[in-house]
Amino acid sequence: FNVINLVIFIWFTVPLARLVQWIAPVPPAPPGIQPQYLDKMYLEQPALALDQVRRELVRVGGLVDNMVHRSLHVAMRGTEADARELEKADDEVDELYEKIIVFLGELSQRELVGEQPLDLSRFVGIANYLENIGDVISKDMLAVLHKRHSNMVFVSDSTRSVLEPIEQEVHRAFLKTLAALETGDVGEALDAIESKGAVNELATEATSHLAHRLVADAPSRVEAFEIETDIIENLRRINTYCRRIARLTIDHHDGKQAVAAS
């Protein structure tokens, strides 16, 4: 009997599947990038909701990290296609940023206790600084690329060799900050904060190198100097935002420890 039923109904599998899809169609996925950790059901438990926000911020930080890692190469040697990829990445960061801020706004209407209002404010700040870093790259660093193209400026290997250590230190500090946000390791955040001295020292050395090249008999040397010093300033701004995120991460961790101790 079972075998006969199987033989009969196996031929109706596809039509039945189509009937089910017609009766209860699966809604299409919303366009654009979507949060992975934010859900309105968490709003009823603010502690859990805040931790979900932290996880989403780490995810956004990963997208920003990819932009930071690529920004110097794109500014110095990139094409218009590279620029469009960075702009698309920044659009995704902006979309997630808006959704995080809306979620935090809804959470602020719930009954928050202890450190929760401060953590909410800290996470707003972290989201703002991550979005600021994306804007520095998508607007200011890409402005360098467009200026380089319009003035037909080529960044020499010697200049590249003094700019890359700055980018590497800035990127290292950002990774430290991201690790602190993800794991709560205050030591990582402190390392990121202390990167200011190294970044400033490397920036000073690079600017001095570029200034010496101004006396060289090279085409577009003034335009090249402006472009290359813009790159240095943009990298320093990224590091500033990174250190601000690290400080807020330390405040968040210290607040959690204080609550646990009480």
pLDDT tens profile 207-247: 988 887 766 666 667 888 888 899 999 999 999 999 999 99
pLDDT tens profile 42-84: 999 999 999 999 999 999 999 999 999 999 999 888 888 999 9
Residue 98, token pair as written in the block: 């808006």
**R_g of the chain, CA atoms, integer Å:** 25
- Residue 210 has a pLDDT of 83
Average pLDDT of every residue of the chain: 88
**Averaged pLDDT for residues 100-104:** 97
With 0.75 as the threshold, say if the pTM is over it.
Answer: yes
pLDDT at residue 206 greater than cutoff 70 = yes
Q: Helices 80-107 and 46-77: crossing angle, nearest 10°? A: 160
Say how many Å lie between the first and final Cα of the chain, rounded: 69
Burial label, 140 (beta-carbon count in 10 A; 0-12, 13-18, 19+): middle
CA–CA dist 224, 80 (Å, integer): 19
Question: Is the backbone of residue 220 left (phi > 0), alpha (psi -120 to 50) or beta?
Answer: left
Report how far apart, in Å, the C-alpha atoms of 143 and of each of 78, 85, 140 are: 12, 14, 5
**Averaged pLDDT for residues 93-106:** 96
- Residue 257 has a pLDDT of 63
Residue 260, token pair as written in the block: 């646990």
